[in-house]
Copies of this chain bind each other. A is one copy, B any other.
């Protein structure tokens, strides 16, 4: 997915949000914001939002010396998701279609803004997603593909959401490789976040080599690209991975909630819609 005009102001807003996690010094925030303003015009017109996001977050880290501004928030997110994990498991067990419920739960994990919600709201939001119809629904195809697949690669997205990913993985009988970013970027899960979510009980964890908020293939390790090339099914979570991988010739199913106008428009849905979409 190509970057949209609306992504540019969004990158500035993201910079402010991230900088406010690092410092209370408005002058320091303005300084970094100015630097981001200067690099935006240099980004290629056909870059994906994930590629520009990588540059923006690298610049923030470089300028501030803070490699992982979302560390604490990510740990909180995981703890809060783990708190409702037993209830979520019960819901899957009681449901008529376990895989469908688990897939919707994994998508629910993508909608929740852990930064603002309380535990009560977290449960309410999951509830809301479970009862919502899909904006795009390729679930029957997904279920058939999962059933016959030998090798499945699961591309993780945010910390905390990882717990919901685990619920879906636990409904899949084939072995799953769960992949995470190699270095922190925004609240995206790295290996530590996946471990804290209990992923090792359900899947083998691999890192992608990538430090962007999305799986940019050219920034991934050859080993990771080989892994993707051999996969029968790739489950891709979240907007960032969609931005980076839409249009690639791979057996991907995108599971996400459309959170912004740019991604929603690209998918042909409206913001807030939940999506399970086969690539191509």
User: Interface on A for B, CB 8 Å cutoff?
Assistant: 5-6, 8-10, 12-13, 16, 26-27, 29-30, 33-35, 37-38, 40-41, 45
B8 and A12: CB pair below 8 A?
A: yes
The answer, among B9, B30, B38, B45, for a CB contact under 8 Å with A9, is B9
Nearest CB of B to A8, in Å:
5
Residue of B nearest to A39 (CB): B37
A9 and B6: CB pair below 8 A?
A: no
The answer, among B10, B26, B37, B45, for a CB contact under 8 Å with A37, is B37
Enumerate 16 A-B pairs (CB-CB under 8 Å) in ascending A order. Answer: A5-B16, A5-B26, A5-B29, A6-B13, A8-B16, A8-B33, A8-B37, A9-B10, A9-B12, A12-B12, A30-B45, A34-B41, A35-B41, A37-B38, A37-B40, A38-B41
Nearest CB of B to A25, in Å:
11
A6 to B17, CA, bound (A): 10
**Identical copies of this chain, number:** 2
Residue of B nearest to A42 (CB): B34
A260 to B81, CA, bound (A): 33
Residue of B nearest to A8 (CB): B12
A12 to B29, CA, bound (A): 17
Nearest 3 CB-CB pairings of A with B = A34-B41, A9-B12, A9-B9
**Given A38-B38, A38-B41, A33–B12 Cβ distance below 8 Å?**
no
A16 to B16, CA, bound (A): 20
A38 to B37, CA, bound (A): 6
A sample of 9 more A-B contacts (CB under 8 A), given A6-B16, A35-B41, is A5-B16, A5-B26, A5-B29, A5-B33, A9-B9, A9-B16, A12-B12, A37-B40, A37-B41
